[in-house]
Structure 1
């Protein structure tokens, strides 16, 4: 029999990586987690990004607000050390980070350099594995790990280029993490919204056209919002998500079902 414990995050504590501003998917997730009662730790990329992220952290009552550039040695580890000292445990963690050098992002995948491809995979996918490894010892009673993907990981989206294979690496990583950490009660999910007007997406070539096409193609007739994605993440982090793991869950109004 279901009770209210299935629909709350009261007493739970989580980390949000990747808020850039109030339009970020990670911010939509943070708002949803907070609405269900969770306590949050929020990171910002660097001093330049801080003024855009700090109001978001304040709006969700973040108890910890820390710098984290996953390309800088020790910064991600420092975040988890701070969480351990403050809380001694962690119940969920959101990875909403992606990056590729512009010269490879806007060019053909076939022409991408090894260094450019490597940077994209390191920041966009391997940092999820690093997050999972650091979260594991803090998830004493199990927990949830979230990564953000896109339909271009599964099918060719002409303007998505290099990020298609990179997101495919991320989705596969989620499945393997779910298998490896499942015995400890740790679940892993890839959330795949359709195109959203985020700062990261604005760097993609012809992205406005892609958004218009996606809205027209989706059976529900609109694009997802950051709050739609956040609501899905929050639901999965509660007891309602207990038997779901290792999956890519689409939050795109049905965009992905159309040929």
Structure 2
């Protein structure tokens, strides 16, 4: 086991299953000695999350309804009481209504638009506001985005717009929290076969194009993302904040 995150308490929000990017991050962080703290959205998800995280060690799992400020406040108060200082947060949370991904973007409902923004972008703001109180020694907040914020990917729709808002939020939060020694960054991950990705039309086509066109001639893995996030959570990235770092085997640099 490594020591890169030894004696550091890291909250990972959004772990759902072994195929999720958050799992790759959790594995990497646990391997470097982090004191992990997990949150999940509901009672229904808690049992599954506990079974999964038990493979890494004995780590607590708390229920946090990311759409309710009161619940976010309560959970972070519990974390403060039981774990004290917080050193890092991984925000791996996003959701859009299925109908807003299956139809053309122009048909996105007002309610669907607000839901996607609330869960996928505003939640980072709400979490950062509360996490700052526990990051008395400084720290690192990392969120996950995708290149659909920059370019149009068929079927990504409202999530692309939401990720653009998320990336702008990263920059504003970096400015606000920087004086407290807290860094805020995003990883723009290449496409990975996750449960959430199944909701995007033509996702398999996106994977094949990346494998063909990316400079490294392969698709990115959750282990790749885990390693990059490990860097951003650690002191090795102490001079970086407000950045959106692409981890996509170089696909974003290609013009054709």
The alignment's TM-score, normalised by the length of structure 2, stands at: 0.95
What SS class does the counterpart of residue 245 from structure 2 fall into? strand
For residues 186-205 of structure 1, the aligned pairs below 5 Å read: 186-205=182-201
1:127 to partner: Cα distance: 0.3
Aligned to 2:203: 207
Q: 2: distance between equivalents of 1:208 and 1:69?
A: 31
Q: Report the RMSD for the aligned CA atoms in angstroms.
A: 1.5
1:84 to partner: Cα distance: 0.4
Aligned to 2:11: 15
Q: Which runs of 4+ in 1 moved over 6 A?
A: none
Aligned to 1:131: 127
The answer (yes or no) to whether the contact 2:49–2:61 under 8 Å persists in 1 is no
The answer (yes or no) to whether the contact 1:9–1:37 under 8 Å persists in 2 is yes
Aligned to 2:23: 27
How many residues matched?
254
Is 1:144 the counterpart of 2:169 in the alignment? no
Aligned to 2:41: 45
1:229 to 209, 212, 225: 225
Q: What per-residue deviation string (whole Å, max 9, x for no partner) do you get for residues 22-47 of structure 1?
A: 11111111111111111010122223
Moved more, 64-73 or 188-197: 64-73
Q: Residue 257 and residue 62 in structure 1: after superposition, are their counterparts in 2 closer, same or farther (change >3 A)?
A: farther
Aligned to 2:70: 74
1:62 to partner: Cα distance: 4.6
What SS class does the counterpart of residue 43 from structure 2 fall into? coil
1:71 to partner: Cα distance: 2.5
Q: 1: distance between equivalents of 2:67 and 2:151?
A: 29
The answer (yes or no) to whether the contact 2:104–2:155 under 8 Å persists in 1 is no
1:55 to partner: Cα distance: 2.3
Is 1:164 the counterpart of 2:160 in the alignment? yes
Q: 2: distance between equivalents of 1:212 and 1:139?
A: 41
Moved more, 47-56 or 106-115: 47-56
1:8 to partner: Cα distance: 1.2
Q: Which runs of 5+ in 2 are unaligned?
A: none
Aligned to 1:181: 177
1:72 to partner: Cα distance: 4.4
Q: What per-residue deviation string (whole Å, max 9, x for no partner) do you get for residues 138-196 of structure 1?
A: 00111000110001101111221111111000000001100110011100111011100
